[in-house]
């Protein structure tokens, strides 16, 4: 079983200038660095290294390099997960992904918030809040998912969105800040023509 640093959840704690946490982050960064040096086509070695980095990993999981995280063992990934290039997860708290999640390039999931008070912030105080992503979720390119957010099953987050509040299931949500635009309906099955082949 992987050792876990003692990071309090939902309350301020000494995140910076903390030798124990810095050591854990350093170990994880080294693993991510080695992962990112692999050939993008070396799926077998990628799977072995991801199993060392992540806390839980389902079947058919792909993180297209480069990928960076802080601790790794706070990340739980379901089956048939795909993340495109440049995924960043700051996982001071738990980050959970359901099954069949698609993440486009250049996305960031951050459980960390710095203290608002300048003296506390200068002293290195932070708070960590978990992020939960449901099943069948698609996160568009360049989206940022902030601390404490839950995204419900089947929802789509538009490119460039900043998700600062939870998003329900079965909706399309976009913007800065991200807001629900509409529900996903049966008509969406017919939004694009389906290629039938020759």
Cα distance between residue 97 and residue 99, in whole Å: 7
The number of residues in the chain equals 198
Cα distance between residue 127 and residue 120, in whole Å: 11
Select which of 27, 31, 85, 114 is catalytic: 114
Cα distance between residue 20 and residue 172, in whole Å: 41
Active-site residue flag, 85: no
∠ CA(127), CA(131), CA(133), 5° rounding?
A: 175
Query: What are the residues facing 95 on neighbouring strands?
Result: 75, 131
Cα distance between residue 147 and residue 21, in whole Å: 19
* Residues recognised as catalytic: 114
């Amino acid at each position: 079983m992987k050792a876990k640093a003692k990071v309090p959840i939902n309350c301020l704690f000494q995140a910076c200038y903390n030798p124990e946490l810095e050591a854990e982050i350093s170990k994880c960064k080294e693993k991510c660095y080695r992962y990112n040096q692999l050939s993008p086509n070396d799926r077998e070695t990628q799977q072995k290294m991801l199993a060392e980095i992540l806390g839980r990993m389902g079947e058919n999981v792909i993180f297209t390099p480069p990928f960076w995280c802080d601790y790794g063992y706070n990340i739980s990934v379901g089956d048939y997960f795909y993340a495109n290039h440049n995924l960043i997860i700051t996982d001071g708290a738990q980050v959970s992904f359901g099954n069949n999640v698609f993440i486009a390039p250049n996305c960031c999931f951050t459980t960390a918030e710095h203290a608002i008070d300048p003296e506390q912030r200068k002293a290195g105080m932070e708070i960590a809040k978990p992020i939960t992503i449901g099943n069948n979720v698609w996160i568009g390119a360049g989206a940022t998912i902030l601390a404490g957010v839950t995204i419900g099953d089947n929802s789509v987050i538009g490119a460039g969105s900043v998700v600062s509040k939870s998003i329900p299931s079965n909706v399309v949500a976009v913007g800065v800040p991200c807001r629900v635009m509409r529900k996903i309906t049966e008509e969406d099955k017919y939004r694009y023509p389906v290629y039938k082949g020759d």
